[in-house]
Amino acid sequence: MAKLARLRGIKIAYDEAGEGAPVVLLHGFPFNRSMWREQTDSLSNAWRVIAPDLRGHGETSVAGEVATMEEMAEDVAGLLDELNISRAVVVGLSMGGYVALAFFRKFRERVRALILADTRPQADTDDGRRAREETARRALAEGMGMVADSMLPKLLAPLTREHKAEVFARVREMIVGTDPRGAAAALRGMAARRDQTDLLPEINVPTLIVVGTEDVLTPPSDAETMHAKIEGSRLVKIEGAGHVSNVERPEDFNRALGEFLASLQR
Ligand code: MLT
C-alpha cells in the first residue's frame, strides 16, 4: 500500500521500506515506483528506501500541463522534508536521472551520493522536442496504448522482448496505467529541460553510472560521457540489458548498486 504525503499542492504516493541511511529511487518515464520493486527488496536490509511516484505518474497527482524536472526535484525535496531526511543517496533512471541532476543543481548539500542509470545530461534536440509534443498530443487524444506501442521496441533489449514475456508485460502495464495528462506534462517538462553537461564537473559526491549495453535511448556513449566528466565516478555496464536495466537484469543491477552503496559505508 502506498504511503501518501500532501505537499506543494499535490498528493505524493511513495513506498518506504527498511531502516538506516536513506536512499531515494526516482523512476523513468512513463513508469512508476513499482519499477523499483527488486531494488527496494534488496536494499531495504541495510538502507531506508524511499521510492516516490513522480508528479503525474502512478498514484501521485497530475498537476498542470507541464511538469518540469525542477518541479519534480522540488517535490522530492518536499518529501524528504516531510520524512525529516536532510541528506540521501539519490538514484534516478532515465527521466529519474534528469530529476536527479536537477535535484543536485538545486539541493547539492542534500545529496550524499548519486546513481545515474540509463540517462543522459544533454537537453533534447529541436527534432526531439517536436516529437515529444506530438507524442503528448497523441497520448491525450488516443490514450497510452500508442505510447506503449511506440516506446516498447526501443525500451527493452531484443533478448528481453523475445525471452522475458513477464518483463515486457510489466513495463507495458506501467505505461498504459499512466494518466495521459501526467505523461503529456512530463513529455513537455522533459522537452523544456536544460542541458546539465556543465553541472557534471561540479558533481563532487560519489557517483555510480549504470547503463544497459543494449540501451538505444540513452546509449553507453552517453554513460561514458558522464563518466569522463564526473571525477571519480564509476561506470557499470549491464550486459544484455536495454533502457530499463533495473527491471531487465535486476540481479546484475542490484549487484552494482549494492557494491557501490557498500563502498559508501566503509
Ligand atoms: C525514460 O525512460 O524516462 C525516458 O525514455 C526518458 C526520455 O524520454 O528522455
What pLDDT does 222 receive? 98
- The answer, yes or no, to whether any atom of ligand 1 lies below 6 A from the CB of 190, is yes
Q: How far is the CA of 123 from the centre of ligand 1 (A)?
A: 12
The per-residue pLDDT for range 109-154, each reduced to its tens digit, is 999 999 999 999 999 999 999 999 999 999 999 999 999 999 999 9
Index of the ligand 1 atom closest to the CA of residue 119: 6
The three cell numbers locating residue 151:
516506446
Average pLDDT, stretch 72-88?
Answer: 98
- 230 phi and psi, to 5 degrees? -105, 105
What's the gap between Cα 156 and its chain centre?
15
Omega before 52 cis (within 30°)?
no
Q: How far is the CA of 81 from the centre of ligand 1 (A)?
A: 27
Contact 59, 13 (CB under 8 A): yes
The three cell numbers locating residue 39:
531494488
| pLDDT surpassing 90 at residue 179 | yes
Helix (H) or strand (E) holding 168: helix 165-176
- The answer, yes or no, to whether any atom of ligand 1 lies below 6 A from the CB of 245, is no
Q: Rounded CA gap, 177 and 211, in Å?
A: 25
**Dihedral sign from CA coordinates of 150, 153, 156, 161:** positive
The partner residues of 14 in beta bridges, in order of sequence, read 3, 52
- The answer, yes or no, to whether any atom of ligand 1 lies below 6 A from the CB of 175, is no
3-class secondary structure, 138: helix
What pLDDT does 265 receive? 81
Nearest CA to ligand 1 atom 9: 95
Index of the ligand 1 atom closest to the CA of residue 96: 3
Mean pLDDT of the chain: 97
The partner residues of 7 in beta bridges, in order of sequence, read 10
